[in-house]
Structure 1
Amino acid sequence: MLMELSIRNFAIIDHITISFDEGLTVLTGETGAGKSIIIDAIGQLIGGRGSVDFVRHGSKRAEIEGIFSISRTHEINQLFHDLGVEKDEEDTVLLKREITKQGKSICRINGKLVTLATLRQIGQMMVDIHGQHEHQQLLQGDKHIFMLDRFAGEEVESAKKEYQVLYESFIKKRDKLKQLTENEQDIIQRLDLIQYQFNEIEQAKLDPGEDKELLEEKKKLDHGEDLYKTVLNTYQALYGENRGLEWTMVAMNQIEEAAAVDENLTPYKETITNCYYLLEEVAFSLRDYYENIEFDPERIEQINYRLSEINQLKRKYGGSVNEILERSSKLEEEIDTLKNRDERLNQWVKELEGIAKDLLIEGSHLTELRKKEANRLKEEIQKELQSLYMKDTEFEVNFDMKSIDIDDLTNVNKRLNINQQGMHDVSFMVATNKGEPLKPLAKIASGGEISRMILALKTIFSDHEGVMSLIFDEVDTGVSGRVAQRIAEKIHYISVGSQVLCITHLPQVAAMADTHLFISKGQAEDRVTTAVHALEQDEKIEEISRMISGVEVTELTRQHAKELLEQAKKMKEINV
């Protein structure tokens, strides 16, 4: 969850720091005080599209920091591991984003510089911001199949993994068949090209690692004279009159005499003796080495010519001799395939038929499981809509079949209806009034209907989305009365055991808050400033009274506010 948010030089905000807790936190205040700006700042913190307009006038940059507490079991931990981001001992993560007045973004996760795309990938797994006119995941049709699968649980996920293994195999085999069924002239041209490439590599008669060996040999030949001198000097330092070996022999003989008197010196005698014979062996080896050093300009020329030939092949076929040889092997395999095209085609058609048959079986099984779970989801959604006074609303999970036609490619003579996620696309469809046709969820027109539908879906999916903090930005717009009360209860229900931040103008929602933050604006040095204040009980009563009356707070509105808070307290005890 989001534990603390720090905003500096962002829009009209000079500098504020806000602490957050679990449960439902509401933000209220007069229009223009900066409530939505705080949500905008969180949006930037999780990778939203930046703008120089966010930088406070007269400042060089805007800065937003957020400290998040992450459960050790949350799936985001794997992503942190893959990115090399470490959490501290308290399992907290610090996100930071700076936006300069030139429009550049600097993003960090626990101090590690990351791209904006990475910040967005992390941020959207931690926070979901829903505004009334924003199409978040629940309004994006291509996300519905993933939501259904997450709702369904392990059985569907397991069936989907088995299906996708077959799907990948099918696509690879189909693509190979495409290559084999191209235009005859294209096949001939392709065969001529790769045959030429293969012959060119073969004629070079490359040996694995040859380039490295030649470079090493060239290095020795290029520095032969210097190498001869240094190795000779090393040998002469060891071997000869009054040189290293002679003095080591003197030491060996002397220590032998001493060890004959005192056995405690025996280990030293053995060490010096071993060193003498090792040095003697090294000296003889060095003598053989420098005596065999060659000064061969002709050999250097041969090596240079061979390396030039290899480098030309590298530019065409790979960065090393081993890569070139791997390319040759693949070319040889492709040549064999094209020369025996008809035979291979028949073989692969049969293989594709077998994969297609298995894929249809797995795809049908996956669809059956999803449809069963879709019915369960429909029942739960309908219950939620009933409780939100939308008894005439119909909800359906639509399965739309997609297809890949493989008739012309393989002579299988059938259509295989598949996509990467299964045999169907999934979308949520809604009809909000009797007699109306079902329409995609994103096309619901009424703001109040959107609010209630989103809350119904959020209530169902709150345990399945994996998002740690959920933010509603005036999602309760367009409702009032008993619907407003029910929306307040739903928002609090979603917040139980998690974290929900909500900007609201409804007193019913404010009364349900576990934490009530009042956002106000003032002036300092002729500049507008924003302040955040956590309200105590008496202050909550005054603020809710203001929300009820709009202008003048009376004893009657205060009494109404107290009743709302008391009613909310009882309702929260039931939810818990």
Structure 2
Amino acid sequence: MLAQLHIENYALIDRVDVEFGPGLNILTGETGAGKSMIMGALGLVLGQRANTDVIRISGKPTRVEALFDISECPQLRQLLHMLDIEVDDATLLLKRVVHKKGSRCYVNTHLATLTMLQDIGQHLVDILGQHHHHTLIQRDQQLGLLDAFGKLTNETAELREMYNRYQDLEQEQHRLRQSEQDRLQRQDLIEFQLQEIDSAVLQTGEEEQLQQERHLLVNAEKLHDLANEAYGALYQNDASALDLLSTALDRLTQLANLDPQQDALRNALQDSFYALDDAAHSLRDYGEQMDVDPARLQELEDRLALIARLKRKYGTTIEDILKHHDAIAFEQQSWGHHEERLEQLETELNQYRQSLKSLAITLSDKRQQAAERLEQAVQQELQDLNMAHPVFRIAHTLRHSETGDFAVGTEHVTLTADGIDDITYMFSSNPGQPPKPLARIASGGELSRVMLALKSVLAREDHMPTLIFDEVDAGIGGQTARVVGEKLHRIARSHQIFCITHLPQIASHGDQHYRVEKSEDSNQTTTELRTLDFAERIDEIARMTSGDEITEATRRYAEEMLTQHS
């Protein structure tokens, strides 16, 4: 419900801060005092289009803030979650700031768009008046209320869930059929790639080994010569290193015999002699085996060229090529499952079509029965509101289409998540005039009373927390006004109601009463909203009864009315 409203620099309103309560909230005041401004400001924060004319002469931005209690609005919480707006407690603050160059919207501390305000507002407030948008005029809302009235919400939820699953299966089937065409185009390519990679018999780490062997073969002659030269220097040439080292070892042995302290040096030199001797023999063996082999070199060149070609096509390394091989092999294996899944999907879709058809037709029949009961109930409410010849009808038709989803009788119908039904609320107040859709009712007061009748019947099923009735008293008085007041008070047991009225019979039913006043100060006109206590309510009801001249008799009558309805 609407808990607090702050209005600043809006038209004739300098500043208004007011708290509202549950139940029936009455707004009264002289004609032209600015009651419509209060509703206009509230509409602004609910996402209605802004006009810079609302900015006061001072030029300061117009600011409207509305604090709502959303503790009993689970669907709104779901919407806020989808919008990534977290709500820590049970309150929600909507804010709109309008300046000369545009406006800014806020939800709590989050910067929002106008569309977000509108979407959120549709879960919070329904303004019922000639110049305002009505949720009951929207066909989807009309269908939802009919389902709620007929206790059909479980059936509609089941249909919607089944329909969404059916849509998912159709999309999967479409994707698979598209991929079937792609598969046929890829089949030859995948088989060629698998054969090409398989025939190469690639091994991880192979390329590095081949490159190393190729490097040695390319340099085989030079390596052979270098090994032989080193061997000659160590062992084979005149005055080779080993000959010289042998002579040095002989002299050092004689020296150690004369000076035993040099025995360690002789042993070290002897170890070096043996090490050089081993190195010389290793160099000889290395040089002998390092022969130029053109056939093996060509074999290596061909193998490396093959690997390079595969790398250009399938990956930068042999590991990448093998991964690509595994991926396309898995794709090829999945083709059999592809055909199997298509057959399975066709079977499932046929089953869902039959189930959806049966459920949609059953739901349509129940909606027709509920529509007849709702027509009678609303018709009675309209008669209670002293409408001379009201006609309320619910036009219930099927969505016929030549390309419909299935046949009902001899006609094809289109199925949506809501079923196969088109629902339109129709009304006529004049004898001989056929009923027309609610959206085409011209009179604001007439439309408000139709809405009041609908709300009276649907009060428990309608989950809109706050309802605002503007012009509901247009063209009525006396006993009808008393009935309107009683109906508003009854609806206020399950909703927060705001009613702008000029009739004391309606105002006396209020749980809270607010007066809109216009005043002039320093050649400036302002509008204020003031909460009335019980004594002030007596005076206001008396004024509404007799005009500006308030007498003790009118006060007693006003007090009587208030006491009777309190």
Rounded Cα–Cα distance in structure 2 between residues aligned with 1:87 and 1:194: 54
Which aligned pairs between 1:32-431 and structure 2 lie closer than 5 A? 32-71=32-71, 74-82=74-82, 83-88=84-89, 91-109=90-108, 111-153=109-151, 156-171=152-167, 352-390=349-387, 392-403=389-400, 405-406=402-403, 415-431=412-428
Question: Given that residues 128 and 448 in structure 2 are in contact (C-alpha distance below 8 angstroms), is that contact kept between their aligned partners in structure 1?
Answer: no
Task: Name the SS for the 1:149 alignment partner.
Answer: helix
1:329 is displaced (CA, Å) by 11
Question: Given that residues 539 and 550 in structure 2 are in contact (C-alpha distance below 8 angstroms), is that contact kept between their aligned partners in structure 1?
Answer: no
Question: Given that residues 130 and 472 in structure 1 are in contact (C-alpha distance below 8 angstroms), is that contact kept between their aligned partners in structure 2?
Answer: yes
1:400 is displaced (CA, Å) by 1.4
Question: Given that residues 401 and 413 in structure 2 are in contact (C-alpha distance below 8 angstroms), is that contact kept between their aligned partners in structure 1?
Answer: yes
Q: Does 1:559 align with 2:556?
A: no
1:363 is displaced (CA, Å) by 0.7
Question: Given that residues 469 and 500 in structure 1 are in contact (C-alpha distance below 8 angstroms), is that contact kept between their aligned partners in structure 2?
Answer: yes
Rounded Cα–Cα distance in structure 1 between residues aligned with 2:193 and 2:466: 59
Question: Given that residues 448 and 479 in structure 1 are in contact (C-alpha distance below 8 angstroms), is that contact kept between their aligned partners in structure 2?
Answer: no
- For the structure 1 residues 127 and 52, does the alpha-carbon distance in structure 2 shift closer, same or farther, using more than 3 Å as the test? same
Amino acid corresponding to residue 104 of structure 2 in structure 1: S
* Number of aligned residues: 447
Rounded Cα–Cα distance in structure 1 between residues aligned with 2:330 and 2:446: 60
Rounded Cα–Cα distance in structure 2 between residues aligned with 1:203 and 1:32: 89
1:198 is displaced (CA, Å) by 7.8
Encode CA deviations 1:247-299: one digit per residue, 9 max, x unaligned. Answer: xxxxxxxxxxxxxxxxxxxxxxxxxxxxxxxxxxxxxxxxxxxxxxxxxxxxx
Aligned counterpart, 1:486: 483
- For the structure 1 residues 442 and 564, does the alpha-carbon distance in structure 2 shift closer, same or farther, using more than 3 Å as the test? farther
Encode CA deviations 1:533-570: one digit per residue, 9 max, x unaligned. Answer: 222344334333433444x4153xx6346425523542
- For the structure 1 residues 44 and 196, does the alpha-carbon distance in structure 2 shift closer, same or farther, using more than 3 Å as the test? farther
Rounded Cα–Cα distance in structure 2 between residues aligned with 1:475 and 1:194: 70
1:433 is displaced (CA, Å) by 4.3
Greater Rg over alpha carbons, structure:
2
TM-score, length basis structure 1: 0.65
Amino acid corresponding to residue 560 of structure 2 in structure 1: E
Identity of aligned residues (%): 33
Task: Name the SS for the 1:125 alignment partner.
Answer: coil
- For the structure 1 residues 332 and 504, does the alpha-carbon distance in structure 2 shift closer, same or farther, using more than 3 Å as the test? farther
Q: Does 1:3 align with 2:3?
A: yes
Rounded Cα–Cα distance in structure 1 between residues aligned with 2:87 and 2:537: 40
Rounded Cα–Cα distance in structure 1 between residues aligned with 2:80 and 2:405: 46
- For the structure 1 residues 328 and 27, does the alpha-carbon distance in structure 2 shift closer, same or farther, using more than 3 Å as the test? farther
Amino acid corresponding to residue 155 of structure 2 in structure 1: A
Task: Name the SS for the 1:99 alignment partner.
Answer: strand
Aligned counterpart, 2:462: 465
Amino acid corresponding to residue 87 of structure 1 in structure 2: D
1:200 is displaced (CA, Å) by 12
Encode CA deviations 1:461-507: one digit per residue, 9 max, x unaligned. Answer: 23222222221223322323332222222222222343211222223
Question: Given that residues 127 and 469 in structure 2 are in contact (C-alpha distance below 8 angstroms), is that contact kept between their aligned partners in structure 1?
Answer: yes
Aligned counterpart, 2:474: 477
Aligned counterpart, 2:239: none
Question: Given that residues 387 and 429 in structure 2 are in contact (C-alpha distance below 8 angstroms), is that contact kept between their aligned partners in structure 1?
Answer: yes
Encode CA deviations 1:405-451: one digit per residue, 9 max, x unaligned. Answer: 458999xx983542321121112223434544333222334444323
Amino acid corresponding to residue 93 of structure 1 in structure 2: L
Task: Name the SS for the 1:63 alignment partner.
Answer: strand
Q: Does 1:438 align with 2:458?
A: no
1:392 is displaced (CA, Å) by 3.6
1:7 is displaced (CA, Å) by 1.2
Rounded Cα–Cα distance in structure 1 between residues aligned with 2:489 and 2:549: 26
Rounded Cα–Cα distance in structure 2 between residues aligned with 1:536 and 1:563: 17
Rounded Cα–Cα distance in structure 1 between residues aligned with 2:457 and 2:189: 60
Amino acid corresponding to residue 150 of structure 1 in structure 2: A
Q: CA RMSD in A?
A: 4.4
Task: Name the SS for the 1:57 alignment partner.
Answer: coil
TM-score, length basis structure 2: 0.66
Question: Given that residues 488 and 508 in structure 1 are in contact (C-alpha distance below 8 angstroms), is that contact kept between their aligned partners in structure 2?
Answer: yes
Task: Name the SS for the 1:544 alignment partner.
Answer: helix
- For the structure 1 residues 126 and 346, does the alpha-carbon distance in structure 2 shift closer, same or farther, using more than 3 Å as the test? closer
Rounded Cα–Cα distance in structure 2 between residues aligned with 1:360 and 1:448: 42
